[in-house]
Structure 1
């Protein structure tokens, strides 16, 4: 392998374990080859100074690549540790995530919604697990982009108290011109555990749901 080929290979190496091993091996090979060339050169036709300087410059590039890769790997590990510690700190806290469902318990069902456009009339429709409509809640006119928090007391349209469990929410938002508008709904839950399996970070909530840490829009 030529000195130039080794230099090109090592300078382009990544941060994976295999790449780091290749980088260290190629660096040693580069150094051994350079020493061998200098030691075995023909005394009558010594290596030109410009060629020697060029190879020394390549050696310096390889050495710098080794150092940069080592430092980048240390930085990656530190960032991963910081992220893990940050997510672990969410245990015991309530987080808010985009969701079309929410949990009703003895304290009620808490959720929020955000309209995509201003609406003259807003109606919340709550359905049980079978899809049956169990409650309708009228809301005041809403502005676009304003998130509104709601707590449902669990009372159904026929005056009964709904059973605890998961319910779905839909929002019927009608503008002044009679057009139906879009919306985004959210639910909240308390984090009880953090799961790092599968290369992703998941938060286990007290109600049994599991959400991706990247979906969190708020915590308290």
Structure 2
């Protein structure tokens, strides 16, 4: 069984980081500097509010999917305890038995007991090549 890396993708658009306060500032600025003889159309205003609501819901959905991915990675890593895994190292490959698991930072980290009595700590799931 081979496991692939589970890593979130990052979005390069600054629009995805826009919050409610930012939107309100833009809207207030737009209303402050609008031409009094040509006020903002109600339809346009409602369309902007609908777009912002859709953006906010999309951000919430992304947050929930990210939580789901993190939970799935944790569940996968728990099932590895006591199993033999092959990992990539800076100098090649190593095989060992998963003896412990920690949840720190970006994701679960494994501790492996390797042949010869050595221990490899803080092995990320992305370094696993195969599970036996």
TM-score grouping bracket, smaller chain normalisation: 0.5 to 0.7
Structure with more relative contact order (C-alpha pairs < 8 Å, separation 6 or more):
2
Q: Secondary structure at the match of 2:94?
A: strand
CA distance 1:198–1:81, shift in 2 (3 Å): closer
Which residue of structure 2 aligns with residue 57 of structure 1? 47
Which residue of structure 2 aligns with residue 13 of structure 1? 16
* 5+ residue gaps, structure 2: 1-13
Q: Secondary structure at the match of 1:72?
A: helix
CA distance 1:87–1:66, shift in 2 (3 Å): same
Q: Provide the aligned length of Structure 1 versus Structure 2.
A: 107
Q: Aligned pair 1:68/2:48, yes or no?
A: no
Q: Aligned pair 1:197/2:104, yes or no?
A: yes
Q: Root-mean-square deviation (CA), in Å?
A: 3.1
Greater C-alpha radius of gyration: 1
Instruction: Measure how far apart 1:88 and its partner are.
Output: 1.4
Alignment partners' CA distance in 1, 2:98 and 2:83: 6
CA distance 1:55–1:213, shift in 2 (3 Å): same
Instruction: Measure how far apart 1:197 and its partner are.
Output: 2.3
Specify which of 114, 119, 127 is matched with residue 208 of structure 1.
119
CA distance 1:216–1:89, shift in 2 (3 Å): same
Which residue of structure 1 aligns with residue 88 of structure 2? 98
Greater percentage in helix: 2
Which residue of structure 1 aligns with residue 7 of structure 2? none
* 5+ residue gaps, structure 1: 1-10, 101-183
Q: Aligned pair 1:188/2:99, yes or no?
A: no
CA distance 1:74–1:99, shift in 2 (3 Å): closer
Q: Normalised by the size of structure 1, how large is the TM-score?
A: 0.41
8 Å Cα contact 2:74-2:107 kept in structure 1: no
Instruction: Measure how far apart 1:57 and its partner are.
Output: 0.9
Q: Normalised by the size of structure 2, how large is the TM-score?
A: 0.64
Instruction: Measure how far apart 1:200 and its partner are.
Output: 4.7
